[in-house]
Chain A
Amino acid sequence: MSNPPAYQELIANFDWAIAERELGYATGGPINIGAMCSDRLCSQGLADKPALLWEDYQGNEKRFTYDDIRVLSNTIAHFLCGLGIHPGERVCLFLDRVPELYIGFLGILKMGAVAQPLFSAFGEESLSVRLCDAGTSAIITQKKHLYKVRKIRNKLPSLRHIIVVDADGSPAQQGEVSFQMDQVPRIQQFPVYPTTAESPSVLHYTSGTTGQPKGAQHVHYSIIAQYLTAKWALDLRPDDIYWCNADPGWVTGTSYGIIGPWSNGITQVVLDSGFIAERWYEFIEKYRVTVWYSAPTAIRLLMKEGVEVVRKHDLSGLRHLASVGEPLNPEAVIWSQEVFNKPFHDTFWQTETGCIVIANLPGMTIKPGSMGKPFPGITATVLDPKTCEPINQPGVAGLVALRPGWPSQVRTYWNNEAGFKAKFKNGWYLCGDRASIDADGYFWFMGRDDDVINTGGHLVGPFEIESALLGHPAVAESAAVAKPDPVNMEVVKAYVTLKPGFKPSDDLELEIMNNIRRRLSPLAMPQEIEFTDFLPKTRSGKIVRRILRCKEFNEPVGDLSTIMEE
């Protein structure tokens, strides 16, 4: 087994053409992620190699070879064509981590449509906002989520088809159709739609400070970066058994839970189960997982469970560990070194970057708590917030910025070009995070530069939560801010003023919490609600979340000259 090349060696003469060559892409020619992740591998002799080993919480197992995912994605593509779905239309995947989610993703791309994965725990309001904005034509879902879709259907004139993957009878309502992947005739050959580099591929919704979530539009050329970053940053090798914990409802689950491993011809494992430490260790042991891409929240939960449960399992198969979602605290890196005999390698990226952009690469000296260094081909810096010029002094905090032009960079926000353009300043793409760079070129995360809440590695927009809070009959005004949390880094806290006739109580707090959970998602549910008589506002009446956030983080609030006196 060869050692990974040194960082300097990787960046010397780096060119994304390395990935183009390895994937067999010719500039200007067709490129289709669906085919690249299935047909291409089969034509290279990997047809019989396991692509997906799947298990659910009850221990039910399914196994799929690369030929299986080729044929089954053909079958889904063929089915969608038969429904009259056209290239470019948005097809939503609203599924738990079932095989249809992973294989359906490829099928949608193969027929030229745009895959729109959404987290299956989203409530009807979160779902509705995202489907409405995208003008989604079809949604692929399960019986257990069908009721949510039915409830919002009359708000979605573009939604023509509801495809249910586990319906055991005939469709119950008009527009609903059953598709059981393992029961329909398999389509051996399907004419893959000739998408090109800039053809839209995936639409991932992400939250910002203002307005509703934005649809980050990616293209088929993104595979160039996802392939190479998976290979180099996650150190994927042909014989690896790879496990990515992320749900494909979020970008990590598609870039590195589908595209990255499958474009590399890797066998990946999926556990469709909620978090139980013992179950996770059993799973790693059973499948002899070699590369594990996890998240700080999960790692901290595992730390909380202690080392005794680890010692009960043979986890010696693990070769490389990596993490993404929010900064990995130094204690977690040190803990994994002690417990697994190897450190978690932190990686930094986001929905808009489409791929890992800053990382502790294999072979690089890890500085616990650091984000690492820019991936080869990525020009990253921190900018002075006032001048938007790069800061050249080590250790000085600035805005994390990337020079545009890497293959998987978001191409626009759906229906929101102005919002997209606002992400660029002075020729740099602004990530929305603050960091500093040390003398060795390592980046150190310091926090978000906006009001977005990073909870358990997922960005939650305050506007969406506040809008939902105002939908509760007792709430007059609200502000949603981040509150520090030892496991999730941040959780949502809501400050609420009540309408006349309502009084603060534990019952009301719980009722509002559950209301938000059902309508938006468990992630968006405030874990604490503070009832207050007034909220800090500017003289123009805008609520100043910054003050509330500073209060939660015990930070100085800074300039208050524009705040209205109460």
Chain B
Amino acid sequence: MDELTKVVRDYVVREYLEEGDDREITETTPLISGGIVDSFSMVSLRRFLEKKYSIHIPDEAATPQAFDTVQSIVALVRKFQMAAPTSA
């Protein structure tokens, strides 16, 4: 598991899995459809990603599908990392 995937997965486990919930979160565990993250909670997850990776995720890209798995979230972050202007 690469570093980005690990960071996203660990954040999801720490922030969104209820204490005592021993479900394993893999890269493909459904987060939105599985009820772990909902559309309201997505806001704080998006805020975390934007800050951590200095990216901007536009509203039209912040869809439930894009946030449904660790894998899709990682893909989203990578897409906007590539789109972000590099600092001088």
Contact = CB atoms under 8 A, between A and B. Distances in A.
Interface stretch (B1-9, B40-48, B73-81): B40-48
A413 B29 CA distance: 42
A145 B18 contact: yes
A525 B43 contact: yes
A455 B65 CA distance: 21
A517 interface: yes
A177 B37 CA distance: 29
Given A145-B18, A276-B65, A304-B63, 4 more contacts: A58-B30, A144-B23, A274-B39, A456-B40
Nearest to A278: B65
B41 A276 contact: no
Nearest to A492: B40
B58 interface: no
Given A57-B35, A147-B20, A274 B64 contact: yes
Contact of B64 (A301, A456, A506): A301
B19 interface: yes
B18 A506 contact: no
A144 B22 CA distance: 8
B64 A275 contact: yes
Given A274-B38, A525-B44, A279 B33 contact: yes
A56 B66 CA distance: 20
Interface in A264-292: 272-279
Nearest to A511: B44
A522 interface: yes
A239 to B, nearest CB: 29
Contacts of B43: 513, 525, 527
Contacts of B21: 144, 147
Nearest to A145: B18
A274 B34 contact: yes
Interface string B45-65: 001100100000000100111
A510 B64 contact: no
Contacts of A517: 40-41, 44
A438 interface: no
Nearest to A120: B35
A510 B48 contact: yes
Interface string A504-527: 001101100110010000110101
A306 to B, nearest CB: 10
A276 B44 contact: no
Nearest to A147: B20
A146 interface: yes
A246 to B, nearest CB: 14
Contact of B30 (A57, A148, A301, A455): A57
Interface string A430-473: 00000000000000000000000001100000000000000000
A148 B23 CA distance: 16
Contacts of A491: 40
Contacts of B40: 455-456, 488, 491, 517, 522-523, 525, 527
Contacts of A522: 38, 40-41
B63 A305 contact: yes
Nearest to B65: A276
A57 B34 contact: yes
A506 B38 contact: no
A121 interface: yes
A506 B50 CA distance: 11
B68 A276 contact: yes
A522 B63 CA distance: 17
B13 interface: no
Contacts of B48: 510
Nearest first, the 5 closest Cβ-Cβ pairs linking A and B are A147-B20, A522-B40, A57-B33, A274-B32, A522-B41
B21 to A, nearest CB: 5
Nearest to B34: A57
Interface string A522-553: 11010100000000000000000000000000
A274 B35 contact: yes
Interface string A140-161: 0000111110110000000000
B15 interface: yes
Nearest to B20: A147
A96 interface: yes
Contact of B18 (A148, A487, A514): A148
A442 to B, nearest CB: 31
A501 to B, nearest CB: 22
Contacts of A304: 60, 63
Nearest to A528: B43
Contacts of B68: 276
